[in-house]
Amino acid sequence: MRLVVTGREGQIAASLLEAAHGRDDVQVIAVGRPQFDLTRPDTVFKTLEASRPDIIVSAAAYTDVDQAEDEPDLAFAVNAEGAGAVAEAAARLGVPVIHLSTDYVFDGTKDGAYVETDAAAPLGVYGASKLAGELAVAAANPRHIILRTAWAYSPFGRNFVKTMLRLAADRDEMKVVADQWGNPTSALDIAAAILHAAAVLDRDKGFDAFGVYHLAGTGETNWSGFARQILDISRALGGPHARICDIATEDYSTKARRPCNSRLSTVKFRSAFAWQAPDWRISTQRTVSRLLSKETAILAGPSQTRNCSSDR
């Protein structure tokens, strides 16, 4: 099975490449700029066709939640029109598309975990652009799996876990939002789920359960609880540690509003694909352990202090 993933630099692409390394049953090819650019529609089909995919994973996206408020045209060009172009290319090539979306399509006002049939109501440009992308993907290719995920982290790229470890190395105390709840989700687990689902699609040519699914870590917490777990693991392993002080969303100013409830029910995905992510604490332990074994990984990249958000 030949899996082509869009976006070379993202957490999902890096995790897929690692997960497939050394396997004989799957090959992952990552495509990205400048040859493949979602803002240049002429590059999309040409690059994907040349990659000879059996399944396309649409992971490339505009992910800067706050900057999107100032760049709505670019956010929609990438997350909506670009995503639609990838799905259309997959349809022309006769292959399914697995598209990554986000909890930000919801406004966070529901009391419990969101299910796939709950009404979407994004709070900002980023969420609206990703919702538009979902609609474009569904319209362009009936053979689509749209995976909404949340609070993604990994040993790769920029994410909340790496930020907490980096900041804890420089300070004794950090303020983190405590009234936003969700499911921390390892991109390594997302990659494992994608490979599992892709194998199902590749094996079952009559698969007819295409549509929207939620995919997230098992269990829930808030951002400050997530931060404490990260730093408690770090301290136990001899890494940096700092005291976490709870603050409210209103005390942490951001340009874009965040949903206070990002909890996603994964019952539908588990039922369709017989796969469930590990408990978020287990996956967090694995990632923190890896990062602490590579000191440069913690310090790599620019500082990121947006405690309310996560990068997909």
What distance in Å separates the CA atoms of residue 164 and residue 167, rounded to the nearest whole number?
Answer: 5
Question: Which is catalytic among the residues 62, 126, 153, 213?
Answer: 126
- φ, ψ of residue 146 to 5 degrees: the values are -100, 120
What crossing angle do the helices spanning 280-292 and 187-203 adopt, rounded to 10°?
Answer: 120
Going from the C-alpha of 126 to that of each of 11, 83, 249, 301, the distances in angstroms are 18, 14, 18, 23
Q: Is 252 noted as a catalytic residue in this protein? A: no
Label residue 52 exposed, middle or buried (CB < 10 Å: 0-12, 13-18, 19+).
exposed
What distance in Å separates the CA atoms of residue 176 and residue 160, rounded to the nearest whole number?
Answer: 11
Buried-exposed string 245-256: b where 16+ CB fall within 10 A, e elsewhere: ebbebeebebeb
Number of other residues whose CB lies within 10 A of the CB of residue 229: 20
| 306 contacts: CB under 8 Å, gap ≥ 6 | 65, 66, 254
Q: How many CA atoms lie within 13 A of 61 on its CB side?
A: 27
296 by DSSP, 3-state: which?
A: helix
* Conformation bin of residue 243: beta by default, left when phi > 0, alpha when psi is -120 to 50: beta
Max CA distance (Å), the chain: 56
Going from the C-alpha of 51 to that of each of 47, 56, 60, the distances in angstroms are 6, 10, 16
Active site residues: 126
